[in-house]
Amino acid sequence: MSDRERELAIRHSRLRLQCAFERHAVRAETQRIMLRFGPIDHLTVMTRNALLQPRVILAGILALLAFGGVRGVNAIGRVVLLVAAARRLWRAAKLF
């Protein structure tokens, strides 16, 4: 084995060791982030699931109608149109 081959082998092993240390550091940081934001993710999922219940949606619409009158009906119409447009936009974006 020549000196150049030996030098390259040493350099390669050092780089592999450095990469292993960096992977470990990234993995540890990812775990810390997951532990920190895990409860927030859980709360978000629970809230989303609760708000998407048909009873909750219906109660919100009824409350809006009861307290908002004509403005409530207009707001519901706008929200329905915006949601439909957002869904179409999302589907179109997924195609690309």
Confidence class for position 19, pLDDT limits 50, 70, 90: very high
Report the predicted TM-score, pTM, of the whole model to 2 decimal places: 0.45
Q: What are the boundaries of each domain within the chain?
A: 1-52, 54-96
User: pLDDT digits over 37-72, tens only?
Assistant: 888 888 888 888 888 888 888 888 787 777 777 777
**What are the structure tokens assigned to 17, written together?**
């060791």
- Per-residue HEC secondary structure of the chain comes to CCHHHHHHHHHHHHHHHHHHHHHHHHHHHHHHHHHHHHHHHHHHHHHHHHHCCHHHHHHHHHHHHHHHCHHHHHHHHHHHHHHHHHHHHHHHHHHC
